[in-house]
Structures are given as structure tokens and as C-alpha cells.
Amino acid sequence: MNSSDEDIADFSPSKRFFVNMLTRDISLEDAVLDLLDNCMDGVIRTEDQATSDGEVDYSNYWAKIYFDANSFRIKDNCGGIPKEKIKYAFRIGKPSEADEHLKTVGMYGVGMKRALFKMGFTSTIDTQHAHDDSFSVKINEQWLSDSNEWTIPVTPKLSLDDINGTEIKILDLYESISKKFRSTDFLREFKDCVRQTYSYIIEKGFKVFINDELVEADSINLIYESPGKAGGSIAPYIYQGDIDGVNVELTVGFYRPSLSEEEQEEELVRPKFNSNDAGWTIICNDRVVLYKDKSRLTGWGVSGIPSYHTQFIGIAGMVFINGDPSKLPLTTTKRGIDASSDLYLKIKDHMMEGMKLFTSYTNAWKGKENLEASNARISMANLADPQVIAEEMDIPEGDWTQVRGRSNERKYKPTLPKPPTENRKQKIVLQRSPEDIEAVREYLGMNNNSTPSEVGDRCFDRVLAEADEK
């Protein structure tokens, strides 16, 4: 029997529907970050051809982003798109063989296209890989509306000011996008987003400009004392290993002194201390995918570890994961961790082991005298970048422990100091209404800025003095 049109089930997509679904669940910020990721991929591709040690030198590269109510533009000097890559660069979905050896964060081949479709009707991509290797591609509303045509002509392009790189321009912005680009709040929030996401790469020398303003890195150092001190050293927990072909380095410890109980109580009423630097930051192939997280996702409030509280404001950790992008525990937006990933579950076990050390230490050193002694020691300790802190500490080989006897995994578990037993005190907890506390504060002639704890201390001291007189 001959087949006819009636015998065929047509699964071909409507382009407009496809585009709408592709962009529906991604924010404008993430769409622009996808374009920045392509810049990084260009650097990695270029450096891969120039070096053999696996280290990427970002210091000579930049990306410049401009946007306003009428247009969006991003330009870089990150090597451009080679002509031989055209066959998949503009496909919606990346073939498995495309740059499979490069340690990037792109896996699906939708980032650039999704960003273009997210913002406007008309887009132009100009790229130069070499002086005689440049071309241009233009997407317009007519092409977006034609479900039967999925190809776009590639035309030769004059050189881009002798810069090997790519320039993307988007015009005819959607009204919702134009409105965001007009907002000063969006500009500020987007700068913060880029600063957080690319801090590690910016520290390595890459430059990002947003409307001609250079984005500064957001770095953090951890505290350490030299190992081997009598009674223990304040030093981070460190894990280094190869898990299923992926390199993992993990460090967690103190980055600042802890808050006193009075400061914690004051923080609940009048926040003034910055908790933003506490928590876990996870970096995959040089890209920050989780930023200073303090949720159950990174182990807070799980399996005996307390939920995050300002008591733990001094604890921070960083995880560096490097390897095949298909093995990394990433979400599709690359701004989150796949919590069900086997790799991440193995990493999380070490994160939690390290975190328990420092939450327990913080609990053990509660009390005014103990806390002051601990904070004084922390304030005088050394500081180092989490990724080089092991080398800075010069940890003896004998202080490392093999993980489950596996030669490719090891950890350093510090012996933290214990508080002196003679300083142990019992805690008195009282809860009274703000009105009652204020009444007692006035009766005792105390300053209006006195915390509830200070009011309680004054009451106890007054009654204790009266008891001593009898």
C-alpha cells in the first residue's frame, strides 16, 4: 500500500512555538550570561590551541556589553567563531562531537540562540576568527515566522577592526525587554549578577564592561594557622580528589570572626552585619554556578548540621569542579546545582563533613570570654585564597587522610582548638515582651541602644550584688 499524506504523522515544530518554549523559563539575566559564556568558550578554545598545560590565561581578553531601551550589543575579542564551526554554532542543539574535549560549561548548544530569541525580533552576528575568516549572520522577524525555513545565509564580512572576536547586535527589542533595559534597578542588579558569576574569571584577568563600566571581582579569603600547633589550629577542612574522572577541590573554614550573642540579637532588630559572604560557592570549569548558598541544597539544616543563622556568619566554603561538561552537576541555566546528581551527592558528603567541624566549633566557643578569645585568635591568623590555601599552609603529607583507601582522593581534617574548661558558663535564657524590656531598661537608667541581653545582664548583676551583701 502506497503511503499518502494521511498516513504520515507530522511532528515538525512550529518555529514560533519552539522559540517561545525555548525562552519561556529563562530570565533575561541568564540569557545575557549565556552570551558571556560563549565569550569564555572562545577564550578556552583559543587558549587550548596555544597551550598544553590545561591552564587558561584570561588576562588578554574582554567582553563589552551595552544596552538601552532600543538595542542590546555584546562585543568581545575572544577568538571568534571558526568557519568550520558554523555547521553546529547556529544549530539549536549541539552535536556530541562539537568541542567535546574543551572544559566549558556549555552542553546543549542553545545558549546563544535562546538569548537572541529572548530579546528581540532582529539580530546580527558578526564574527572574525582570523583576518581572512570572518562572516555575518542575520535573523529577522520574517525568518522567525517561517516554520518551513530553518537555514540562514552566511555572508562574508569585512574585518572587525582587526579584532578576532564576535559582535552580536539585537534590535527591535520586545517591549518587556526594552522596559527592563531602561530600568536603573535592572542595571544595578545585572552588574551584581555578572560580578558574582564571573568573579573567579575576572580575578584571573578577564575584563567585563557593562555600559562602559568595568565590573570588579568579588573575592573571599579563608583564615588559617600553621598546622601542628599545640592544642589545635584554626585551619580549614580541605578535600582534593578525582571523582569519576572529574577533578574536585573543596575548602571550608572561617573567613571572619563570629558575632557575639549581643550582636546576633541586635542583628535581628537592626541588621548591620553582612551575611552575604557566608555559605557555599560552587565553581564549575571556572564559572560560578552557585553563589554563597546557605540552604539545604549545600547541607545547611541537614543530618545534624544546624540551619544557617548569624551565629555562623564566619563560615564560608568553596568547591571547584573541573571536567567534562556532560559530567558536571549543572542545571540547564548553569546558575544552579542538580541536587540529584551522583557526583554532587558525593561532593556534598565532604562539604557536610567539613561544615560540621566549624558549626561545632562555633557552638563550643559560645560565651563572652570564650568568643572573645576565639575571635582574637581568628583576627590574627593568616589569610589565603581557598584554591591555594593548602600550599600556603604547607600541610605535612602525614596530616592528609586517604578517602576510603582511594589513592586519588584525600582530605585534611584540622584539629580545631577546644575552649578551656575553666571558662565554661551556664546560659540563662529569658523571653519577655519588647514593652517589658523597655520598661526595665528605663528603670535601670540604661541607654536606649542597650540590647535585650545587656538589660538581662544588668538585672542579674544587680540582683547578684544584693545577694552578696546578705
- Structural domain includes residue 462: yes
Please calculate the CA angle 83-88-91 and round it to the nearest 5 degrees.
Answer: 125
Kindly state whether residues 455 and 312 are assigned to the same domain. Answer: no
Kindly state whether residues 95 and 180 are assigned to the same domain. Answer: yes
Q: What is the pTM of this model?
A: 0.77
> Rounded mean pLDDT of the chain?
84
- Domain with 458, as residue range(s), is 428-469
213: pLDDT strictly greater than 90: yes
Across residues 81-95, what is the average pLDDT? Answer: 68
Q: Which of 156, 191, 214 is the last residue of a domain?
A: 214
- Structural domain includes residue 4: no
Kindly state whether residues 195 and 283 are assigned to the same domain. Answer: no
Kindly state whether residues 128 and 61 are assigned to the same domain. Answer: yes
Kindly state whether residues 444 and 413 are assigned to the same domain. Answer: no
CATH number at 112 reads: 3.30.565.10
210: pLDDT strictly greater than 90: yes
- Structural domain includes residue 3: no
Kindly state whether residues 367 and 435 are assigned to the same domain. Answer: no
Q: What is the pLDDT of residues 278-311, one digit of tens each?
A: 999 999 988 899 999 999 999 999 999 999 988 8
Across residues 383-395, what is the average pLDDT? Answer: 92
Please report which confidence band the pLDDT of residue 17 belongs to, taking 50, 70 and 90 as the band edges: low
Kindly state whether residues 410 and 442 are assigned to the same domain. Answer: no
100: pLDDT strictly greater than 60: no
Across residues 447-462, what is the average pLDDT? Answer: 86
Asked if residues 186 and 180 have their Cβ atoms less than 8 Å apart, the reply is yes
Kindly state whether residues 439 and 414 are assigned to the same domain. Answer: no
**Total domain count, the chain:** 3
Across residues 47-73, what is the average pLDDT? Answer: 82
Kindly state whether residues 438 and 418 are assigned to the same domain. Answer: no
- Structural domain includes residue 121: yes
- Neighbouring CB atoms inside 10 A of 422's CB total 6
- Structural domain includes residue 171: yes
Q: What is the pLDDT of residues 124-168, one digit of tens each?
A: 999 888 767 788 888 888 877 777 777 777 888 766 667 889 999
Kindly state whether residues 77 and 188 are assigned to the same domain. Answer: yes
Kindly state whether residues 418 and 432 are assigned to the same domain. Answer: no
Q: What is the pLDDT of residues 396-406, one digit of tens each?
A: 998 999 987 77
Which percentage of the chain shows pLDDT scores above 90? 44
Which percentage of the chain shows pLDDT scores above 70? 84
243: pLDDT strictly greater than 70: yes
- Structural domain includes residue 266: yes
- Structural domain includes residue 313: yes
Asked if residues 246 and 252 have their Cβ atoms less than 8 Å apart, the reply is no
Kindly state whether residues 314 and 456 are assigned to the same domain. Answer: no
Supply the pLDDT for residue 108: 44
- Structural domain includes residue 408: yes
Across residues 347-356, what is the average pLDDT? Answer: 96
Q: What is the pLDDT of residues 437-451, one digit of tens each?
A: 999 989 988 888 888
117: pLDDT strictly greater than 90: no
